[in-house]
Structure 1
Amino acid sequence: MHIHFIAIGGSAMHNLALALLEKGYTITGSDDVIFEPSKSRLEAKGLCPETFGWYPEKITSDLDAVILGMHAKEDNPELLKAQELGVKIYSYPEFLYEQSKEKTRVVIGGSHGKTTITSMILHVLNYHDIEVDYMVGAQLEGFDNMVHLTHDNEFIVLEGDEYLSSPIDRRPKFHLYKPNIALLSGIAWDHINVFPTYEGYVEQFKIFVDSIVSGGSINYNEEDEEVKRVVEASENQIRKIPYGTPEYFVEGEETYLETPEGPMPLEIFGEHNLNNLMGAKWICQHMGVDEDDFYEAIVTFKGAAKRLEKIAESATSVAYKDFAHSPSKVAATTKAVKEQYPNRKLIACAEFHTYSSLNSDFLNEYKGALDSADEAVVFYSPDAVKIKGLTEISEAQISAALQRDDLKIFTNPDDFKSYLFSLELDNTTLLLMSSGNYGGLNFDEVKDLIKS
């Protein structure tokens, strides 16, 4: 099969391209810009376009299919040519479904926790040498790719994202997978550029639950009231299995999980991650891993990339970076770090740079998100607000939304960096939360700061 990727350089897209190449397909692709590490990974396999840009001549009737990435536009010249020729066009999730129609599809959904839960499941399966197909939204230790597809594996584990499928397919990705086994971890309003009302956002999760194949099952976090309401109200003929946070305790800056065999020390920490762990345990049991084998494997799980990732540590201080940017994630991550290091000062920094976080109508969702921090910091760029075409927001609005009079706010990257490098970090935990980089912060320099 010859597959052409329009916008091959995206994080998800280039991983799918590599997986299909490994499966034996002929792969070509285009993009107007490709950043690292995608560029180097594509170059290593001969898949990086020789020149950047869109070339309609690459689209011919000989192609078996085109896969269209979200980065492309509706008027993309290659897309228009494919439409003109009648070449089959797939979105990323559509194609994954096509690849897995004959498999048992396991789909992990939720506003937060889905990457971590999917990663936990794959870690446990890999630990016990159980082969499955998969797609996950983070690079995992022990895995070369974020996507793996075969002809023979019985199961495929998919991280179910609620964002749109493609520029010409406005359905959320997780509506297309039709799970046999599903999990729903949490619902907290996000992506307000696509779902401008809370009710419209929640509706997408109702559709997801109803898309589970008849006779299938869903494990759901019963501690999330919205999740519980959505799942239990569904009339879909499926098994509904609740889970919650297990018993655990923190001792000497280490988290222990209570199990039938006694307390087990974990590499991960935080109530939200223990809740994620129980969801992952249920899914692994559905896939044939018994409880004892799950616990044996999960104690070696160190976390997904960019999720509470320890970047530096000294005898008296430690620094973490985390992908958290939505209100629920910022709150859960800050609380988790304070709980793990209760006797240390916690300096928590959050960057607001997504469409939702920079929207004045959404800011109040961050109320209390940094309450667990001893010192709270927000960084945002007024230029980013303008670029996204949003109404200008003020520092006073951010302070009022988070309800912290002592909140430190920075709008200039150099000022933020100067603040960071002026800190006295003895007996301190530094937490940097963002899906960006604070306007160009070099995290290696932060590591040197902790070591000094």
Structure 2
Amino acid sequence: MRVHFIAIGGSAMHNLALALHQKGYEVTGSDDTIFEPSKSRLEKKGLLPLQFGWFPEKINTSIDAIILGMHAKADNPELLKAQELGITIYSYPEFLYEQSKNKTRVVIGGSHGKTTITSMILHVMNYHDKDVDYMVGAQLDGFDTMVHLTEENDFIVLEGDEYLSSPIDRRPKFHLYKPNIALLSGIAWDHINVFPTIENYIEQFETFLTCLSNGAIMVYNEEDELVKKVVEDSDQIMKRYPYQVPRHFIEDGKTFIETNEGPLPIEVFGEHNLSNLAGAKWICQHMGVDEEDFYEAISTFKGASKRLEKIAEGKGKVAYKDFAHSPSKVKATTQAVAKQYSNRKLIACLELHTYSSLNADFLKEYENALDAADEAYVFYSPKAVAIKKLSEVSIQQIFDAFKRNDLKIYTNPDDFKKSLFDLDFDNSALLLMSSGNYGGLDLKEVKELLE
């Protein structure tokens, strides 16, 4: 089968291209620019376009399917040519469904925790040599790609993103997978540029339940009020399995969970991660892994990439980076580190980088999000606001939104770096939360600072 990717360079798209290449498909693609690591990974497999740009002459009837990425626009020249020729066009999630419609589809949804839960499940399966197909939103230790597709595997585990499917398909991705087994971890308003009200956002999860296969299994976090209401109020025919944070304790900076076999030390920490673990356990049990085998495997799980990832440690000093950027994630991550290192000073730094976080109307959602930190810093770039064509955000608006009198706010990356590097890190924990890089902060320098 010959497939052509329009916008092949994206994180998800290039991983799907690699997976199909590995499966034996003939793969081509285009993009107007491709960054690392996508560029090197595509080049290594001979899939990197010879030139950047859009070339409608590449599109002809020898192509069996077009896979359209969100980075492309609805008037993309290659897309228009494909439509003119009547070539089948798939969004990313549509194509994944086509690849998995004869498998048992396991879909992990929710505003937060999706990547971690999916990663936990895959770690457990890999630990016990159970091969499954998958799509996950982070690069995992022990896995070559973020997407793996075969003909023979019975299960596919899919991270179910609620963002839009493609420029010509405005449905959320997770509406297209038709899960046999599903999980909802939490609902907290996000993607304000697409879902302008929280009611509209919640509606996407209500719709998700109507997309389940008949008699599907629904695992859900009953401690999240919105999730509990959405699942328990639904009249969809499904088997419901609620979960909650397991009993646990912290001793000498190490988290233990209570099991039938006694306390089990684990590598991850924070109540949000313990909740994720409880959800992953239910899913693994429905995939044929018993509780004892799950615990044996999960005790070696060190976390998903960029999710509370330890980047440096010295005597009485530790630093973590985390992808957290939405209000609920920022609050949960900050509280987790504060609790894990309760005898240390917590220095929490947040970069406002996404469309939602830089939206003046959305900022109020960050109220009290950094309260668990002893010292709190916020960085944002006015240039990023301008590039995203958003209304100007003032320092005072951010200060008022977080409702923290000692909050320090920076808009210049050099000033932020100097302030950070002048801090006393003795007996402290540093937490860097961002989906960006604070205007060019070198984490190697941060590591040297603490070690």
Q: Place the TM-score, normalised by the shorter chain, in its bin.
A: over 0.9
The letter for the 1-side match of 2:432 is: L
Q: Cα offset for 1:393?
A: 1.5
Deviation at 1:219, TM superposition (A): 0.4
**Matches of 1:340 and 1:445, distance apart in 2:** 24
Q: How does 1:13-32 map to 2 (within 5 A)?
A: 13-32=13-32
| TM superposition shift of 1:395 | 1.2
Within a 5 Å distance, the mapping from 1:120-135 to structure 2 comes to 120-135=120-135
Structure 1, unmatched stretches of 5+, are none
The reply to whether residue 356 of structure 1 matches residue 350 of structure 2 is: no
Deviation at 1:353, TM superposition (A): 1.2
1:33 deviates by 0.5
Counterparts of 1:238 and 1:24 in 2: how far apart (Å)?
37
Question: CA offsets per residue over residues 226-252 of structure 1, 9 Å max, x none?
Answer: 000000111111111100000011110
Output one character per residue of 1:94-130: Cα deviation in whole Å (capped at 9) or x when no partner. Answer: 0000000000000000000000000000000000000
Structure 1 residue 441, shift from structure 2 partner:
0.8
CA deviation map 1:81-106 (0-9, x unaligned):
00010000000000000000000000
Distance, in Å, in 1 between the alignment partners of 2:119 and 2:27 is 27
Letter paired with 2:108: I
Shift of 1:389: 1.8
- How big is the shift at 1:343? 0.5
Q: Distance in 2 between matches of 1:442 and 1:111?
A: 29
Q: Does 1:75 align with 2:58?
A: no
Q: Does 1:235 align with 2:240?
A: no
> Cα distance, 1:409 vs. partner?
0.2
Deviation at 1:210, TM superposition (A): 1.3
> CA–CA distance in 1 between the matches of 2:313 and 2:241?
40
Q: State the match for 1:110 in structure 2.
A: 110
- Determine the C-alpha separation between the residues in 2 that align with 1:166 and 1:131: 30
Structure 2 counterpart of 1:218, one-letter code: M
Residue of structure 2 in register with 1:304 after alignment? 304
Give the aligned partner of residue 208 of structure 2.
Answer: 208
User: What is the CA distance between 1:315 and its match in structure 2?
Assistant: 1.2
Q: Give the corresponding residue for 1:259.
A: 259
Q: Report SS of the residue matched to 1:430.
A: strand
2:54 maps to what in 1? Answer: 54
- Partner-residue secondary structure (3-state), 1:162: coil
Does residue 2 (structure 1) correspond to residue 5 (structure 2)? The answer is no
Residue 182 of structure 1 corresponds to: 182
CA drift at 1:46? 0.3
The amino acid across from 1:430 in the alignment is L
Unpaired segments ≥5 residues, structure 2: none
The 2-side partners of 1:154 and 1:190 are apart by 33
Deviation at 1:399, TM superposition (A): 1.2
Which amino acid letter does the alignment assign opposite residue 142 of structure 1? G
The letter of the residue matching 1:76 is: N
For 1:34-433, what aligned pairs fall within 5 Å after superposition?
34-433=34-433
Moved runs in structure 1, 4+ residues, more than 6 A? none
> SS where residue 304 of structure 1 aligns?
coil
The 5-angstrom pairing of residues 435-446 of structure 1 reads: 435-446=435-446
Q: Distance in 1 between matches of 2:412 and 2:54?
A: 35
Q: Under a length normalisation based on structure 2, what TM-score does the superposition of the two structures give?
A: 1.00
| CA distance in structure 2 between the aligned counterparts of 1:353 and 1:394, rounded to whole angstroms | 14
**CA deviation map 1:259-314 (0-9, x unaligned):** 11111111000000000000000000000000000000000000000000000000
Q: SS at 2:280's partner residue?
A: helix
Q: SS where residue 71 of structure 1 aligns?
A: coil
Equivalent position amino acid for 1:358 in 2: L
**In the aligned structure 1, how far is the partner of 2:9 from the partner of 2:405?**
43
Distance in 2, Cα, partners of 1:50 & 1:419: 44
Deviation at 1:221, TM superposition (A): 0.2
Give the secondary structure class of the aligned counterpart of 2:4: strand
**Equivalent AA in structure 2 for residue 36 of structure 1:** E
Tell me how far apart the structure 1 counterparts of residues 440 and 81 of structure 2 sit (CA, whole Å).
38
SS at match of 1:79: helix
TM-score (norm 1): 0.99
Secondary structure of 1:372 counterpart: coil
Letter aligned with residue 246 of structure 2: P
Equivalent position amino acid for 2:223 in 1: E
In structure 1, distance between residues paired with 2:96 and 2:408: 44
1:325 Cα deviation after fit = 0.2
Deviations 1:44-92 (A, max 9, x none): 0000011111111110011000000000011111001000100000000
Deviates more, 1:199-208 or 1:378-387: 378-387
Aligned letter for 2:313? Answer: E
Number of residues paired by the alignment? 451
Counterpart secondary structure, 1:27: strand
- Alignment partner of 2:179: what SS? coil
Q: How far has the Cα of 1:209 moved from its partner?
A: 1.1
Residue aligned with 2:71, SS: coil
SS for the counterpart of 2:328 is helix
2: CA distance between counterparts of 1:199 and 1:60? 43
Deviation at 1:363?
Answer: 0.6
SS in 2 for 1:217: strand
User: Displacement, 1:354?
Assistant: 0.6
Render the CA deviation track for 1:365-388: whole Å, top value 9, x for unaligned. 001100000000000011111222
Q: Which moved further from structure 2: 391-400 or 88-97? A: 391-400
Please tell me the residue identity of whatever aligns with 1:123: H
* Amino acid in structure 1 at the alignment position of 2:242: P
Partner Cα distance (2:85, 2:439) in 1: 43
Q: How much does 1:356 deviate?
A: 0.5
Percentage identity across paired residues of the two chains: 74
CA–CA distance in 1 between the matches of 2:51 and 2:386? Answer: 31
Write the deviation string for residues 339-376 of structure 1: whole angstroms up to 9, x where unpaired. Answer: 11000000000000111101111011001100000000
Tell me if 1:33 matches 2:33.
Answer: yes
Q: For 1:339 and 1:139, how far apart are their aligned partners in 2?
A: 27
